[in-house]
Chains A and B, each alone.
Chain A
């Protein structure tokens, strides 16, 4: 554990907050909080607890004090001492990269607490209990127990990077039984931000997340995915560029034609357009006019992804005429990036830009699902988000049902 390196990685990944969830302990949370504060990244204290049945449950905790209280309880129920040769050193560090000590508890072991007792312990300190990586067999609740025990008061389910949100919803919460979140499950700084959850919150805190899980007071879980990998999040990135440049309307096309082995994404805006110099610069990985992230790699990464998958990338833009970004791919190419969760794209765009006109079109072969945000202009933001989500889910489901794909591209799709 490297609090300073973790904070740096989080800032670079451009996330607003990280939850620090060491196995069965929270010794390093304070140091990460201090290191991250200097980088403008919020920290949610957390802990990934191993139940007696070897199920991993993440506790997201309101503050350091509750994290340490939970830690004390976990230590009381955690047998064994660490063996550094077998399991590595369990470092306790501060934000200045100084090692303060080594944790002697067997943090990689299992507590003697049942999964019900773990969830209860988390709730007693006003935390949120999230079942970790339910899509993984090892240490996942479904893998270990065969099911989610009926009545277990989990606050959310988490899926790993291997599983897209649409697939996760269909498999684990088809009737919305639980909110589903994504996380990187980073065990090293380089993996921070590889998957993320998008939420509409007042601040990145546990009480706010609790409201978002329950969709109360206008707080929402908007979705999630793998930034800079999922095409849905590349589309989000491009649309956000458009908005920052002053666009009031964005048209998004996701055109799949498995028969022609083609996948095209196109984003058009009515913004001010770009000069030829700016168009060239926009594809430079080190150029950005955005102030939210240090390096604006989005467009160059997308261009690379298109070329890798046997496709092309182009930006058409003229000052005063708006901008069109187009990326094409061979649909069946083994390295073609997954589409990810287009619902997330549209929800995040609406949540962050109340007046934005979004026109979305998704086609598979000759079947089309189209959505215009002007149809959803009545009511407050939460009701518009709910309405749009209904329309997207229904539309996407009909689209998929009508068009059985000739090939299934791995588990990610």
Chain B
């Protein structure tokens, strides 16, 4: 029984994290744009939508950690934060939390037949966090890339270490599919790898 409970807990966590085989992070890209033309970026104020969750948006630790993780991630992609005016890119992020429902994993898994009292669906509510990172061309004001990552927030809101680990994973996950910028694209090895991947 203990074993079953553990198994259920793990399954519930996996579900709360966003469903069975659902992707946890991804991105949208403006395909007509060559990212190798971009070298520098700066932070800009976010759009009014989506509405940010105050537990994250007003949490200085969360904000600092996201900004740090994004800056480290973008440096790894060949973009540098510019101390001067006139950056190539402007970036901002949104952190929102929505109430989501999940069917109890054992009900999903049952699959077989049921009758009378053995039928029934247990539905759980959980809070799903979504982090969206927008990258805009500073000159045209056009959105050229948007990354996203989601995860249940119940276990991270009051746990700084877990929050930090989740943010690192979220930012790494979304940036994985981002094209490289000027500071990396000059490296012929990277160039070849990216062009190979594009085919």
Q: Do A and B come from one complex?
A: no
